[in-house]
Amino acid sequence: CLDSNGKVHEFSSNWRTEDCHDCSCHRDGIECCSSFVTPVGYDKQKCVKIFNKETCTYKVVEKYDSSKECPVHGWVG
């Protein structure tokens, strides 16, 4: 399989892209999906979501004090 960056992958192989998508190579092509969930149920006026590319996760913190995490009531992914 040839990915969008021009890299060749063997059949039945799996990898994670730089933008946190898990991909696999099959005889009929490449299949990819996001490896993370996105927070949707939080106070968007008081809080912000921050994405960590190292861990492929989101954290939701207060806008003016990032040491305080905000409660999240819904995730999609």
Q: What is the pTM of this model?
A: 0.74
Q: Give, in degrees to the nearest 5, the angle at Cα 1 between 38 and 37.
A: 5
Domains of the chain, start order: 1-35 (2.10.70.10), 38-76 (2.20.25.590)
pLDDT in tens, 24-63: 999 999 999 999 999 999 999 999 999 999 999 999 999 9
Task: Determine the pLDDT at residue 77.
Answer: 82
Task: Determine the pLDDT at residue 24.
Answer: 97
Radius of gyration of the chain (CA): 17
* Interatomic CA distance for residues 17 and 49, integer angstroms: 21
Looking at residue 43, its amino acid is D
Over pLDDT 70: what percentage of the chain?
A: 100
